[in-house]
Structure 1
């Protein structure tokens, strides 16, 4: 039976041939698996791709253990990981400094940031991780950058709205994200990438006089459907709203727990995906709890406080849950 491979498959195969890093090769193989037609004629090809992918992942893990720490490998912390992308002096480091407790090096000359730097952004009673990354230009794209962006939960694309080349910054960055399959419409299982609704374009330095006109130019000449979020690290314009926006984009909820007969623990919420159930919470608390729990009560989204609910009950942000064994 003929394979009938698609142009998308051959495009991913070509990306694999051009890949330099292990991360890029893994991403290309994931893409090939995602777009290959699923029928009997491609079963051997699929098996070969899975074998090569498994081998590369093992090599990557082995290399990480035996070599020096990879500066582009950022351990996820907090309620979610948010990566920043932008041109030199677009305001990424200043934004991280303004919204977290991190102390990135901020200067007026380009390429101040040479490796990713993470900081924790407070949002109400939780923390969200922001990752500043080395800048991109049309001539220079740091090796390892695509992996940082692809593995994030949310992506912030910063464009200097006060710069004469703001439109060029926007178009190049969007093309890079599309070409590397970092932002993609189809986020199939096993294929890493950022869904379009998990990316936000920040119009940085929006407080300067030329910025409103430049934002309008980007809206008229840039791709349709892009939402520009004006921010200023100097005046604080948009920063508080940005915290709320990031939390909503993460698609997570905070759930508090209580022991029967005691007050709830409101200091350390469990972070779960939106749409999670009582069963998911129990599993998150302890792997044996779903089997042992006899009853669950909810304060918050239930019809009345302390209502007993089934294990498939969908919990909401800031619910309090009591699980009895």
Structure 2
């Protein structure tokens, strides 16, 4: 019997993936358990949720008894922008150069390995939307930082960098894929939680073939296809020259599947076109008002909308689903 999970469950599930503390995980898991349809087809999922809730409660209880250091609590970066993109890859694969090229961040870029020791965030622009991009420490056979794994779990998209300028690129990528396949946080063509194992998470991943301008890149790509065929959607770039960066930027925005909403006050003639709010496609004015401010959400009465799906100034209720680039005037 199919689970037929509700939108409320899916929303809590997404929040659970992006939780940055045990308490946030617990809150999301309890919502998921409350919202899950109760029938035979979800018996195992309900059982998994209850076990996970019990474990997180124990973790919270144990954590309250122990002093925590910065290293124990993990490296936390607040979510910003329309979505989060996490860069992963082996040493010297070009992640930091990419971050420098598409954001204003200034990570250390050098020819020697492990110049990135901590996650480094930046903001990438696509038209009038800002998207968070986070560079992470490199992954090897022996080193894979747990903080980086947590960032991958909570990401909307992962960019896996493949260094076509390195003779060992196939072995490097095979090692990374093996490390993730052995854990609960995995790379995939889409983002979701495993319904058979609530602790197993999959994050949408794009393969970024960097240094495609290297004279031996074609041969190295063939070797990669033999050693570890890449199943993810892929892009050819040169982080140094900028080739292919616009295509990656466009694909990231499309994959986030958000719509831009421009807002205005009833007393204003023009909307603020500089910084639109972004919500997931299919979300309503209720979610938009919560994003603006909790007071706006609580006092929301109606809105007027200008957009491609309505006549200018049409009055709508909170369940209206905005289209991309709608102008919304909220009345409280």
TM-score by shorter chain over 0.5: yes
Give the alignment partner of residue 108 of structure 1, picking from 101, 108, 111: 111
Paired position in structure 2 for 1:210: 216
2-structure distance, mates of 1:297, 1:319? 10
> Which piece of structure 1 moves more, 246-255 or 97-106?
246-255
Deviation at 1:182, TM superposition (A): 1.7
Q: Does 1:275 align with 2:277?
A: no
Change (3 A) 1:62 1:153: farther
The answer on whether the counterparts of 2:90 and 2:173 sit within 8 Å (CA) in structure 1 is no
The answer on whether the counterparts of 1:253 and 1:273 sit within 8 Å (CA) in structure 2 is yes
Equivalent positions of 1:79-94 (< 5 A) are: 79-94=82-97
1-structure distance, mates of 2:328, 2:298? 17
Deviation at 1:300, TM superposition (A): 2.2
The answer on whether the counterparts of 2:184 and 2:199 sit within 8 Å (CA) in structure 1 is no
Q: Does 1:193 align with 2:201?
A: yes
Describe the superposition over 1:128-150 as per-residue Cα deviations: whole angstroms up to 9, x where unpaired. Answer: 22111111111222343211221
Paired position in structure 2 for 1:140: 143
CA RMSD, 1 decimal? 3.2
Deviation at 1:156, TM superposition (A): 0.7
Paired position in structure 1 for 2:69: 67
Change (3 A) 1:206 1:120: same
Change (3 A) 1:212 1:259: same
Give the alignment partner of residue 184 of structure 2, picking from 162, 181, 196: 181
The answer on whether the counterparts of 1:293 and 1:323 sit within 8 Å (CA) in structure 2 is yes
Describe the superposition over 1:174-197 as per-residue Cα deviations: whole angstroms up to 9, x where unpaired. Answer: 2222222223675158757343xx
Higher strand proportion, which one?
2
The answer on whether the counterparts of 2:171 and 2:227 sit within 8 Å (CA) in structure 1 is no
| Structure 2: segments with no counterpart, 5+ residues | 1-20, 34-40
Paired position in structure 2 for 1:76: 79
Paired position in structure 1 for 2:11: none
Number of equivalenced pairs: 290
Describe the superposition over 1:51-103 as per-residue Cα deviations: whole angstroms up to 9, x where unpaired. Answer: 2212324656887x953375632222222221111001111111111111111
2-structure distance, mates of 1:218, 1:269? 41
1-structure distance, mates of 2:153, 2:159? 12
Paired position in structure 2 for 1:14: none
| Structure 1: segments with no counterpart, 5+ residues | 1-21
1-structure distance, mates of 2:185, 2:215? 33
Paired position in structure 1 for 2:309: 302
TM-score normalised by the chain length of structure 1: 0.77
Deviation at 1:239, TM superposition (A): 0.8
Paired position in structure 1 for 2:132: 129
2-structure distance, mates of 1:192, 1:282? 32
The SS at the match of 1:54 is helix
Paired position in structure 2 for 1:8: none
The SS at the match of 1:218 is helix
1-structure distance, mates of 2:320, 2:92? 48
The SS at the match of 2:101 is helix
The SS at the match of 1:144 is helix
The answer on whether the counterparts of 2:207 and 2:230 sit within 8 Å (CA) in structure 1 is no
Paired position in structure 2 for 1:54: 57
2-structure distance, mates of 1:106, 1:225? 29
Q: Does 1:315 align with 2:322?
A: yes
> Which piece of structure 1 moves more, 298-307 or 232-241?
298-307
